Structure 1
């Protein structure tokens, strides 16, 4: 570090220092008339093109020298925070959301991040200086959220958001470390056990649906296990009735500030082409004919989005409305109440019960890993193991005696 010292030098040294012109970008340290030490470091240029020169001070020269060296090290490493007030955690979270996360994540994910920051992180730790955030700040935040009744899964979501934001800050040298990595995240229980319908219940639901619009919506749900967003975003362009196939290419979602949007699947495995049962192909043909009649009736009010399952005017079906229709259909069919997502579980369970290999079921459902399929449908696996044992017995010892 080359510095120019003033105030504490002898008259001869002070004169020599004054006669030497300081090099561009050189730091300076001097002592004022009150005995306090000051340091100035050139950090480069500001965004407006003006010179960015930072000031530090202290009661002792050694303290100021240390501060000057820290600033010089950051400057030389290309790490220069904006001049002025030190950023808070809230400042960084807002910057991360608007300028970094907004370019990297999907619209629904960004909306979830913003909600978590607004509801939990800003009120809880947003006031702390970013470079002074400590692990115990996060631990107290998680404890306070738990006391308010927030579920472990929701607290884990808070932990993941702050951890991702701090990871970027650490990578850029804005903070020395990601303190979230020093905190144990909340433990989350396994997801709720799947409650699929049995074959008889599924048939009763499909029979009850025949008296309503979009009856094929529920046949598709129970036969090939599409997710709700996938079914509501399905286009006729993605259905080949001649070949008996259906291709999943997108989903329908509602995002705050944007309304209903169509998004491609997040995982590559979710983009898939499914073979349809012959009976389902027939149901879709009948559904398409009915929809064409509705289109003629609607006339100029019809909004053509090429949707397979739509409102009577062609517009998309809201997820909440779709959920209410499912609940009403279960009551009408006299079937126990299960979640809409359990219709997807029903398709998987029926396939496994019919002896379809779990790998094939994984492809049908669009799971990214085999483990997801086997863990989710572990209740079916013992029966499949029994069937495998019986088949091995027949192969080695022949069928059992009557």
Structure 2
């Protein structure tokens, strides 16, 4: 077996390498390193051989970029169903018509420029141009696939590396929308739904949708008014936040409602301990969540925003109430206060004015009351 041992940072590692011939009879080496256990390396080597024998390895001299990126996406494992579906649409609607016919190894930065220009000129059936965000996502998809091609030694270098910075789609600043106090009160007062607690938690705590849907009753300490939030993927880890008496009261009412539903449906009730669940105890599905949210907005007649904007609404209301940015960071679970300030500095227009006034008051008091001379 072509398994090799080597030392890295004083520790034993393993790698495999074996030679094959492509359809043109040209020899190439398939290899991978970085394994800390010999057994893992053997298994990976066997899988690589099987993949080659099934014909899944690409002959770079014969494949077009369209065929390559389609196959690359097909074999990509670390994306969800919805993202995969969106990316397939980007490939079929934008990438294939513009540069799909070009051989992978002959793709140039001029071809990437042409793709971007074609997307920028495109007019949709509604008469609008393709959104900048969509163009940026298509560009990122192409870039990621080409990085993978370089890593697999299918091409020598990524043609995007030669692209002028000004030619690349610019990342626009994210737009944050949020409700005023009046809009929040209008929404909550007009909302009639058994899952009203979902929206109360979003507005009063700033929790993300996924965090709220993952909450279980064991995460609530009714005595200390604390909510334990499980670790999120991208920001700060597991955290606890202290909430208001109003939120705890709303949670208590919802708990009593759930108890009544358990009693009503008896053996048909599936007790998964989720706070947000349907009448039979099943967790709330995210597949139709947007439609669910849209219906609630229409029912209450409040100005339309995204559900995620309730998180921004929470931040805005806290800043309006004079809450310190560090507390807001901890509530929202940002990885650092810098993230909070970068996102919400526009919501704090009076902070510099308040600081200037505080300094003036402090110094004027000093001038009015100079230290006594000995």
Give yes or no for TM over 0.5. Answer: yes
Contact map agreement 1:224 1:347 (CA 8 A) in 2 = yes
Q: What whole-Å deviation, never above 9, does each CA across 1:6-45 have from its counterpart, x for those lacking one?
A: xxxxxxxxxxxxxxxxxxxxxxxxxxxxxxxxxxxxxx85
What do the CA deviations read for 1:106-141 (whole angstroms, capped 9, x no partner)?
Answer: 565545444433443334323221101111222222
Q: CA 1:92–1:308 in 2, change beyond 3 Å: closer, same or farther?
A: same
Task: Indicate if the aligned counterparts of 2:235 and 2:334 stay in contact, CA closer than 8 A.
Answer: no
Aligned counterpart for 2:110 among listed residues 133, 136, 149: 136
* Rounded Cα–Cα distance in structure 1 between residues aligned with 2:365 and 2:189: 42
Conserved 8 A contact 1:353-1:384? no
Q: Deviations over 1:79-100 (max 9, x none)?
A: x97569712213322342244x
Q: Which residue of 2 aligns with 1:156?
A: 136
1:163 CA displacement: 0.7
Counterpart selection for 1:360 from 309, 312, 327:
327
1:367 and 1:373 in contact (8 A); partners too? yes
Q: Give the total of aligned pairs.
A: 315
Q: Is it true that 1:328 corresponds to 2:298 in the alignment?
A: yes
Residue 296 of structure 1 corresponds to 263
Q: Contact 2:297–2:303 at 8 Å: present in 1 too?
A: no
CA shift for structure 1 position 324: 2.4
Q: 165, 172, 186: which is aligned to 2:169? A: 186
Q: Is the 8 A contact 1:330 1:337 kept in 2?
A: no
Distance 1:130 1:293, change over 3 A: same
Distance 1:270 1:325 in 2: 33
- Does the C-alpha gap of structure 1 residues 397 and 304 become closer, same or farther in structure 2, counting only changes over 3 Å? same
1:232–1:309 Cα contact (<8 Å) kept: yes
Q: Bigger radius of gyration, 1 or 2?
A: 1
In the alignment, which residue of structure 1 is the partner of 2:40? none
Task: For residue 377 of structure 1, give the secondary structure of its aligned residue in structure 2.
Answer: helix
Query: Are 2:60 and 2:154, in contact at CA under 8 Å, matched by a contact in 1?
Result: no
1:379 offset after TM fit, Å? 3.1
TM-score (ref. length: structure 1):
0.68
Match in the other structure for 1:214: 195
Rounded Cα–Cα distance in structure 1 between residues aligned with 2:60 and 2:154: 15
Q: Which runs of 5+ in 1 are unaligned?
A: 1-43, 56-70, 250-263
**Contact 1:163–1:181 (Cα < 8 Å) also in 2:** no
Gaps of 5+ in 2: 1-17, 33-51, 123-128, 369-374
Are 1:195 and 2:177 counterparts?
A: yes
Q: 1:311 to 1:346 in 2, by over 3 A?
A: same
Q: Is the 8 A contact 2:120 2:135 kept in 1?
A: yes
